[in-house]
Chains A and B, each alone.
Chain A
Amino acid sequence: EVHLVESGGGLVQPGGSLRLSCAASGFTFSSYSMNWVRQAPGKGLEWVSYISSSSSTIYYADSVNGRFTISRDNAKNSLYLQMNSLRAEDTAVYYCATISGLTFDYWGQGTLVTLS
């Protein structure tokens, strides 16, 4: 069974940094591209970033480009999101999600990042 567990969220001041992690199990992590998707409180979903299985291809939403860095460690079955220069509008639940074809198929339960 696919299992994704995000961690690293918390309360941070504007301008600060935070590193999110996503621990994967139940599938061959190194064979799958991964994504981060976020959801501001009471708002809709927003795609944040994509990383291919080998880390050779990386893309970001315009809203985070230049401030966030996605990475992965296939040996540790882990996905990361380094968030710098955080803004109030970055307050959200951050989900990691697997991708099959061009569809987000499995999602973690999310970790909350709050700017205050």
Chain B
Amino acid sequence: QSALTQPRSVSGSPGQSVTISCTGTSSDVGGYNYVSWYQQHPGKAPKLMIYDVSKWPSGVPDRFSGSKSGNTASLTISGLQAEDEADYYCCSYAGSYTWVFGGGTKLTVL
């Protein structure tokens, strides 16, 4: 149950796009199409942004998009806005009703 690998930080200017990667193994990211992404503002609970690799929950803008290739999943945020500044975590199902999270990526909007 090793954590998925995410970059510690990414940054971008308003209006630009950024991509956050999430690398696992064939036992988690590569083995299942059940990767989700969560946004967390300081002191707040995580909020679901993307599920099943590339699906949007109700209310999440389509500026957020997800994809996967092999053992690496990605979250792309286009048209960056100030309120997008937060920590982002990926999560993958790892079989037998167990899950593994990434270490988190801090997004800074310049």
Which B residues lie within 8 Å of A59 (CB)? 96-98
Which B residues lie within 8 Å of A107 (CB)? 45-47
B98 with A103: CB separation less than 8 A: no
- Verify if A88 is at the interface (C-beta below 8 Å from B): no
Q: How far is the CA of A61 from the CA of B100 in the complex (A)?
A: 9
Q: How far is the CA of A50 from the CA of B1 in the complex (A)?
A: 15
Q: How far is the CA of A23 from the CA of B76 in the complex (A)?
A: 35
- Verify if B73 is at the interface (C-beta below 8 Å from A): no
- Verify if B64 is at the interface (C-beta below 8 Å from A): no
A62: contacting residue among B1, B34, B52, B57, CB under 8 A: B1
Chain A CB count within 10 A is highest, among B32, B34, B46, B96, for B46
- Verify if A45 is at the interface (C-beta below 8 Å from B): yes
A67-116: which have CB < 8 Å to B? 95, 101-105, 107-110
Which A residues lie within 8 Å of B91 (CB)? 45, 47, 104
Count how many chain A residues have C-beta atoms less than 8 Å from C-beta atoms of the other chain.
Answer: 24
Q: How far is the CA of A70 from the CA of B45 in the complex (A)?
A: 21
A103: contacting residue among B3, B52, B101, B102, CB under 8 A: B52
Residues of chain A at the chain B interface (Cβ within 8 Å): 35, 37, 43-47, 50, 52, 57, 59, 61-63, 95, 101-105, 107-110
Listed A/B pairs (22) with beta-carbon separation below 8 Å: A37-B101, A44-B103, A45-B89, A45-B101, A45-B104, A46-B101, A47-B100, A50-B97, A57-B97, A59-B97, A59-B98, A62-B1, A63-B1, A95-B45, A102-B32, A102-B99, A103-B51, A104-B99, A105-B48, A105-B51, A105-B57, A110-B45
